């Protein structure tokens, strides 16, 4: 597994769920949006403070956790 630099866990942010760069956007939110058919561009439009790399790293993290 590559080192993940964009996924953070902090008990004071979203009860310690894995988040994107300490923001209140969880990996689960990103994965859920992708699973329900939203495109990368849809997500970036809805969350303009996210970067493309954030989404790819969230997916990589979720895939790693599923293993």
Handedness of CA 19, 60, 37, 32 (dihedral sign): negative
Total number of residues shown for the chain = 67
Give the global pTM: 0.91
Given the structure tokens 């994965």, which residue do they identify?
A: 31
d(CA 46, CA 3): 27
What would the pLDDT profile of 23-44 be if each residue is shown by its tens digit?
999 999 999 999 999 999 999 9
State the Rg of the chain over Cα: 11
What's the average model confidence in pLDDT over 11-19?
96
What would the pLDDT profile of 52-65 be if each residue is shown by its tens digit?
999 999 999 999 99
């Amino acid at each position: 597994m590559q080192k993940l630099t964009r996924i953070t866990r902090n008990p004071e942010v979203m009860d310690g769920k894995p988040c994107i760069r300490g923001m209140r956007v969880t990996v689960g939110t990103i994965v859920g949006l992708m699973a329900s058919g939203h495109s990368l561009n849809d997500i970036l439009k809805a969350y303009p403070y996210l970067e493309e790399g954030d989404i790819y790293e969230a997916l990589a993290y979720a895939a790693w956790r599923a293993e």
